[in-house]
Structure 1
């Protein structure tokens, strides 16, 4: 059986679809989130049983995960193969780009379960695993022990994590007294083995940490790992000099954002966001140890942001979530005034997360009013000055707009800005994200860097290389994509005037807000609200299916944005808002256009849709 697995893997690697290595987002039309990984591997098992490794057959497998940071075909296959060889279920094996995230994932679960954790290691723990900070800031409790012989690990009333540094992949010996084995494979990342039926309920919790606070082992690194597994050889990790690429990335980010502090670059947008959150919590602990923290977040913003913030708050008794209604019938500035007044009355620390433009309604607040709301001095009930907010600005939709430079609108307000790298920064070629801060956030940035290091979430060498190639052309791509989007929006307004389109005004565009995404609230009909909503939801899918069915080489049912070519369609409520509360979800169409696509053909197909109504 072992030989059959190895031979099959070798053939799969030779015939793998290039999309498995190159894409950052995958097709939603063949994706069932409730069966993430499972559906892909069930179909992969069928191919294995018939020894089918044809590229066409592999390409037709259902999407494993919609984003590669969550997992992807190659990470699933690596986990499947290790499961087969070690007689474990594939879901019990979870690969990470990070060497510390699997340890942190178990610690998080045991925090809620009020369960003791023992970390045992044979050689050395990861250098970046700062025991003091993990205990003090994350609130995790554990003991550490070094041993020479893993066969003599005594039983323990709680969870035992065994950490090993190894260059080998394949059959792994896991002592019965070990609940979780973390094999660290240098710069490739790590692989976590969940041992024993008694730990089955950890799988979902660990997967969720990988989903929200780090990323899966990258496709390129999974290929290296699988090659080593097939060859029965040590993992080969060639040293790559990326100093030049790093410098290009740092210089370009500073130029684009108008900032002077050193940018921080992470493995994904959520990776950098997690470092921001934990860095801010340490800053609060250091400077205001007796005050509560309020994380202020829009309830309908990107689901990953929303979910992550709530997960951070759930771990710490002194941290709470405060909703910030920002679009539709709500005004971001007025909401900020109301929320900050309340937090001042509570003498708490406000950290505000907001997207500008908002997602999916693509709205921009009055920036002068925003500045005034954030900078207004407020008093606590005892008359002392309230703690000023830190503004955490998600600029993924418009990373070209300068907010933080010396003469920019938020120069004098403590602000951290970040962007998801799988969008415009990389043109969809990698997931790496980055953050910058204005001149008054230097101390905070140092703490964010600490947590980026602790979580081992810095961008990979390949990600730095890709960003160094793509970032210099980002602003031009943004301008070109906006032109296509404006032209398409104008056409829709002409042929379907009853539709409600959420897009920036010409006035905002003249200020530099030139996103290439818009949302479309299609006209509906019916005698009741339920009938109208049902009709509209069906119409959403009708439009998307027509576009991707007629123009499959360009139009995709996908959550992507900022790609180098094509047009991407999604329904936020069923994709980017997956973990958002149902009442806050947006069942509308969101479309994003790239600098390169056949705009005439897209207009033509949209006209066909209008004519069918």
Structure 2
């Protein structure tokens, strides 16, 4: 009876839900508490369930479940809540994935760090690209494999038991005491992981972190299909979900990426920017193990870059004995080229393998290095301590802020240095309509790109059918959208400089813009006051929030407290230290305002509200 009541309620929610639940990729930070991710949303949903209230007006007011939709969203949370209710377990114990491989890797990762044995029991076949040898060799995860007819055939095991099964229904599992984790594979929808028993609940935060960094949650559209199956207690209906135009869309997307980037070898498209970065990192490690046996691998990463990049690099290093992360200071008083030269010289002396991850322009300071000097530093022949020629670096370029700039094509600045460029697809490529990320390589990287593709497939992190469809529609207009958004941003930056000259604005010069560096994001270091450094910092941090709150209150239809960029309309505001730099070391965080503008917004209204903010600020500074 309770199960029917719950299913009927979910049915009503699906009929009445806000359209945002299917279409947004980033949600509002002003109604989001990261410490209560998922739980706050579900607690309030449960109250509505108890009141049998599924009205659109109340659903709209539910707090943000996760700040980025790749981490989870209303529909994935409801799916997990529904399954958990069915089994009378906590909703935290159910975690949905777009990938069918990564949930297995998540458990293996925790056990590798615990030095705990793992048994993977499965019916039928393992996930399509599950390469046991590669997982043991490259990821350094150990496990036993055991094929069984059903879960009941699994005997006690001195360690962790994972049971993998292919299911055509959602919520079709009989929990057994000899299984610690159930992973139900649901064809192209993804998978659902069930944590079985209180003794295994300590794994939940680690599994969630893997979903946060190395893959994505089951997508909104796939969660929607799964929920329809769940409420009807019937087999999943793939009609309308399987895109018969996939091959055509994929071909169009790959062609567009080659044209946009000026490259010729096959681009790769992942479920998110971080999914792409993970494949890049693991592919490069695989190549190093094959071609430079026994040598240490160094990932060189700016300490204040996007928190996901920073965190993921360190997470990979934690699992691989011969991988280390080396800091690369790039912003403010630090020159990226000088830092690269210094670090590469040191790594060459150690006869190690250098992989550099860097953003151009940098985030959030929006700085571009001297590109000729960068090329020279990357191309320079260096020697090991023994006088031998050192291994040349691979430059991994995060080009999210300016995906239109040609770095890699024939005759371009980085065409003669082993370089791979990648970007988050939730930004300009899709205009904020999906999370898919991509990477391209220059002609010197074909073997590396083959390795990256292998690990993208192994992790089952390729873009979904709908993501390809969205990119196919959005990519043709991308470069024009970049131009239009830059025009608004330049005009707004000039305006702010005129009305508040004491603020420090980080944005590209007009000279750089003439060379196609036309980002539509800038950062703002507001003036402050106080008797000491602590008071000045506290005042500025409060001022940051005051500005953002004024913008989103006065222009609610356009201004949003959000971390995204490259959106189709409106203006997004954030504080990098509390959003994109979430896992960055405290001393490297930037407590400044970052704004990203689109080509479709009421710029005059934004100027008007900013002028009002400046009036209040001047009064306060004088007072």
Partner residue, 1:266: 270
Partner residue, 1:302: 306
Matches within 5 A, 1:275-424: 275-424=279-428
Is the aligned partner of 1:564 residue 2:565? no
Partner residue, 1:47: 48
Partner residue, 2:127: 126
Matched length: 613
Is the aligned partner of 1:223 residue 2:227? no
Partner residue, 1:137: 138
Is the aligned partner of 1:61 residue 2:65? no
Question: Quick check: 1:85–1:171 contact (8 Å CA) kept in 2?
Answer: no
Aligned equivalents of 1:215, 1:594: Cα separation in 2: 26
Aligned equivalents of 1:178, 1:80: Cα separation in 2: 21
- What SS does structure 2 have at the residue aligned with 1:329? coil
Question: Quick check: 2:243–2:466 contact (8 Å CA) kept in 1?
Answer: no
Partner residue, 1:168: 169
Question: Quick check: 1:82–1:171 contact (8 Å CA) kept in 2?
Answer: no
Question: Quick check: 1:16–1:55 contact (8 Å CA) kept in 2?
Answer: yes
1:487 to 488, 491, 497: 491
Moved more, 212-221 or 144-153: 144-153
Aligned equivalents of 1:303, 1:64: Cα separation in 2: 19
1:231 CA displacement: 1.2
Partner residue, 1:573: 577
Aligned equivalents of 1:584, 1:278: Cα separation in 2: 26
2:481 to 477, 480, 483: 477
Is the aligned partner of 1:243 residue 2:225? no
Partner residue, 1:465: 469
- What SS does structure 2 have at the residue aligned with 1:520? strand
Partner residue, 1:18: 19
Aligned equivalents of 1:390, 1:531: Cα separation in 2: 44
Aligned equivalents of 1:511, 1:3: Cα separation in 2: 61
Aligned equivalents of 2:349, 2:446: Cα separation in 1: 28
Question: Quick check: 1:265–1:459 contact (8 Å CA) kept in 2?
Answer: yes
Aligned equivalents of 2:62, 2:127: Cα separation in 1: 36
1:345 CA displacement: 1.1
TM-score, normalised with respect to structure 2: 0.98
Is the aligned partner of 1:158 residue 2:162? no
Matches within 5 A, 1:83-122: 83-122=84-123
The CA RMSD measured in Å over matched residues stands at 0.6
Kindly provide the CA deviation profile for residues 404-425 of structure 1, in whole angstroms up to 9, marking residues without a partner as x: 0011000010000000000000
- For structure 1, list consecutive stretches of 5 or more residues without a partner in the other structure: none
1:113 CA displacement: 0.5
Kindly provide the CA deviation profile for residues 19-47 of structure 1, in whole angstroms up to 9, marking residues without a partner as x: 01100000000000011001111111111
- What SS does structure 1 have at the residue aligned with 2:422? strand
- For structure 2, list consecutive stretches of 5 or more residues without a partner in the other structure: 618-623
Aligned equivalents of 1:9, 1:550: Cα separation in 2: 35
Partner residue, 2:621: none
1:590 to 566, 588, 594: 594
Aligned equivalents of 1:353, 1:205: Cα separation in 2: 24
Aligned equivalents of 1:168, 1:63: Cα separation in 2: 28
Matches within 5 A, 1:439-588: 439-588=443-592
Partner residue, 1:429: 433
1:172 CA displacement: 2.0
1:515 CA displacement: 0.1
Aligned equivalents of 2:165, 2:237: Cα separation in 1: 17
Partner residue, 1:212: 213
- What SS does structure 1 have at the residue aligned with 2:361? coil
Question: Quick check: 1:86–1:171 contact (8 Å CA) kept in 2?
Answer: no
Kindly provide the CA deviation profile for residues 523-567 of structure 1, in whole angstroms up to 9, marking residues without a partner as x: 001110000000000000000000000000000000010000000
Question: Quick check: 2:576–2:589 contact (8 Å CA) kept in 1?
Answer: yes
1:171 CA displacement: 4.8
- What SS does structure 2 have at the residue aligned with 1:464? helix
Partner residue, 1:234: 235
- What SS does structure 2 have at the residue aligned with 1:592? strand
1:609 to 595, 606, 613: 613
1:170 CA displacement: 2.4
- What SS does structure 1 have at the residue aligned with 2:77? helix
Aligned equivalents of 2:60, 2:25: Cα separation in 1: 15
1:5 CA displacement: 0.2
Aligned equivalents of 1:240, 1:220: Cα separation in 2: 12
Partner residue, 1:178: 179
Aligned equivalents of 1:158, 1:558: Cα separation in 2: 42
Question: Quick check: 2:93–2:196 contact (8 Å CA) kept in 1?
Answer: yes
Partner residue, 1:33: 34
Partner residue, 2:194: 193
Question: Quick check: 1:362–1:502 contact (8 Å CA) kept in 2?
Answer: yes
- What SS does structure 2 have at the residue aligned with 1:84? helix
Kindly provide the CA deviation profile for residues 171-197 of structure 1, in whole angstroms up to 9, marking residues without a partner as x: 520211000000000000000000011
Question: Quick check: 1:392–1:417 contact (8 Å CA) kept in 2?
Answer: yes
TM-score, normalised with respect to structure 1: 1.00
- What SS does structure 1 have at the residue aligned with 2:168? coil
- Runs of 4+ aligned residues of structure 1 deviating over 6 Å after TM superposition are none
Aligned equivalents of 2:430, 2:596: Cα separation in 1: 16
Aligned equivalents of 2:101, 2:254: Cα separation in 1: 25
1:573 CA displacement: 0.2
Aligned equivalents of 2:114, 2:197: Cα separation in 1: 18
